[in-house]
Amino acid sequence: MRILVAPNAFKGSLSCVDAARAMARGVLAVFKGAKIVSIPIADGGDGLIDALRATLGGAVVSASVRGPRGERRRAAYLWIAGKNLAVIEMARASGLALVPPAKRRPLAATSRGTGDLIRDAVRRGARTIIVGMGGTASSDGGAGMARALGARLLDAEGRELPDGAEALLRLARVETAVSRRLLAGVRMIALSDVTNPLLGPKGSAAVFGPQKGASKAEVKVIERALTHWAAVLARDTGARVARVPGAGAAGGLGAGLLAFANASIVPGADWILKKTGALKALKTCDLALTAEGRLDATSLYGKAPVALARAAKRAGVPCVAIAGQVERSVLPFRKIVSFSDAGAKSTNDSIRRAAIWARKAAAMAVSGLAVMAALSVPARANKLAPPESFDVQYFQRHVGGNLQENIDALEGILKSEVIGEGDSWKADYLWRLCRGKVRRGESFKTKAERMAEYESAKRDCERSVALSSRTAEAHFWLGVGLGRWAETKGMMKALFTLGTIKKEMAETLKLDPLHGGAHHVLAEILWQVPGLAGGDKKKALSEFELAVKLSPAHSANYQPLAEAYLHFDRKEDAIRTLRAVEAIKEPADPAEYPENLADAKKLLSKLEAGR
């Protein structure tokens, strides 16, 4: 199986390259033999340099520039000497992130630093310059950039204007002789993830001004300044920029690049997907996995993950996504997994441990119906998803319809025909199906529904054991399924099945001596069954302790142990055990953990109050 891993950057926490690396690890945890095609992507904003460098190579160089407030700073860009190509992210020189919130002055902020980078690249020998427009602090229509390239912006008395949008209200004429000589023979491509014009209700000032800290009054000033700027540019340069799609991007930088560099403004995501080879890779891949820090309705407008999903759909390739945050919307992905779905406890946790959550979310995203349905059709009957690929989704069965999807997909797999094989390959799918049905049965309301579900689960595990008797989990879940069925049937039936359940747990431990779950089941039997029927609470306590020792990440093991300690008046041991639940950083079964934690806290609070 070939899987394309093509993430955008997670702004402020994970570069597109680091995201791709973490996601690949998650995919390989599910599909161990998969061929990963890693192509980081971008849409013209954060991550452009990282994405293109990962594919095209080159060196990151730096130059002295003037930042958004006119301050001197260093800013980097990508230089590919063999192609005489420079790649510039304007946010690195003129970005809003470079200005502390308290010092943001939208009317005075400048794009000069972007011009400084362009000038440095030209002097280095660049014949093609890619400018990623996004994240700028300025709203000056690219006026500062133009001045850095040698253009003169003069008032009625022939004096140079100061930087910033507001100064453009006093602009009388523009002189471009120096800037035109500098850029002669240089091809300029401006990448944008928006199509906003320079002026009007969807223009630069109205839409993006408030994002840069502009008040309503300042937005009106910027709109008037850019209107005047567009009129002077039309007269002095011949460039009519007011209504051009994309001219309003990056505080109007698109307009400046059109007028002074004769730039082509293109959709950044589409251009990058082609340039990096992501579009070509889709033709040979079975699945695409993409990502971004946040996915919501605005992602439909020019964002790289959505562009990839649309391209994947045209190529007939399923595309799934992960994101730090997700606002459920009509997005073109087969499946979306957020960091909170993967277990992140807060926004701060998502940012601080972004690589971990990207790995876990990726593993969840590539498991389940969204992927399996695409891989289990007859044409791909010898390319079935491996049984272990269903485990990640099972352990996230509390998210959405994951449990039902897990069961449906397993049932679909089991209906497949594998050329040249008998039925032995079904064993590992069958016990997983049994496991899912046991969990689904626990949620059913009526006794009849539960009985039917547990009976079906029991049959699946019996078939699994018959096909392959050397799998510990098959014996374990057969015992669990039988236990659930007997409990639902009634006390007498439960007593008559104890011997069989014990036998399955013994076989589980014979095959896997470190199986904590089997010790837990044996402990429950010893604890609940009367002494005359073989119960023994002291032996049960030992089994509970062994279950926790062997499986410390299984949070369901702790509460019964604490309650057993209380039975033997070992209150401090009970408190210590309950506190350990909260200390579990990566629960083995995230679906159970929230309820287990809540129960532990409730009992702990009661015990500590009685001290």
CATH code where residue 594 lies: 1.25.40.10
For residue 380, the model assigns a pLDDT of 41
Within-domain flag for 154 = yes
For residue 493, the model assigns a pLDDT of 56
Q: Give the end of a domain, one of 219, 251, 269.
A: 269
Shortest CA distance to 64 belongs to which of 93, 25, 105?
93
Within-domain flag for 66 = yes
For residue 417, the model assigns a pLDDT of 63
For residue 452, the model assigns a pLDDT of 94
C-alpha 175/C-alpha 154 separation (Å) is: 8
- Give phi and psi for 322, each to the nearest 5: -125, 160
Query: Max alpha carbon distance in the chain (Å)?
Result: 108
Cβ–Cβ under 8 Å, residues 27 and 285: no
pLDDT in tens, 471-518: 999 999 999 999 999 888 875 556 778 899 999 999 999 999 999 999
Within-domain flag for 242 = yes
Burial of 82 per CB tally in 10 Å (0-12, 13-18, 19+): exposed
Would you say residue 347 has pLDDT above 60? yes
Cβ–Cβ under 8 Å, residues 171 and 155: yes
Shortest CA distance to 403 belongs to which of 457, 450, 440?
440
Task: Average the pLDDT over 65-85 and give the result.
Answer: 96
- Give phi and psi for 80, each to the nearest 5: -110, 95
Query: Would you say how long the chain is, in residues?
Result: 611
Structure tokens at 524: 């429950």
What type of residue sits at position 360?
K
Q: Give the end of a domain, one of 269, 289, 322.
A: 269
Structure tokens at 546: 């062994």
C-alpha 561/C-alpha 574 separation (Å) is: 7
- Which has more confidence, 46 or 418? 46
3-class secondary structure, 295: strand
Helix locations, 383-471, DSSP H: 391-394, 402-414, 427-442, 447-467
pLDDT in tens, 213-270: 999 999 999 999 999 999 999 999 999 999 999 999 999 999 999 999 999 999 999 9
Task: Average the pLDDT over 322-328 and give the result.
Answer: 87
Within-domain flag for 437 = yes
CATH code where residue 246 lies: 3.90.1510.10
Cβ–Cβ under 8 Å, residues 475 and 503: no
Within-domain flag for 244 = yes
| Residue 418 binned pLDDT confidence (cut-offs 50, 70, 90) | low
3-class secondary structure, 157: coil
C-alpha 562/C-alpha 23 separation (Å) is: 38
Would you say residue 37 has pLDDT above 70? yes
Burial of 349 per CB tally in 10 Å (0-12, 13-18, 19+): middle
Task: Average the pLDDT over 451-466 and give the result.
Answer: 95
Range of the domain at 495: 413-609
C-alpha 102/C-alpha 104 separation (Å) is: 6
Helix or strand (DSSP H, E) at 62: strand 59-66
Within-domain flag for 101 = yes
Within-domain flag for 288 = no
| Residue 430 binned pLDDT confidence (cut-offs 50, 70, 90) | very high
For residue 181, the model assigns a pLDDT of 96
pLDDT in tens, 329-344: 668 898 899 998 888 8
pTM beyond cutoff 0.75: no
C-alpha 46/C-alpha 306 separation (Å) is: 16
Mean pLDDT of the chain: 91
Q: Give the end of a domain, one of 252, 269, 286.
A: 269
Within-domain flag for 357 = no
Count the domains in the chain.
2
Least confident of 34-48, 167-181, 325-339: 325-339
Say which residues have a Cβ less than 8 Å from residue 81's Cβ, sequence separation at least 6: 58, 59, 125
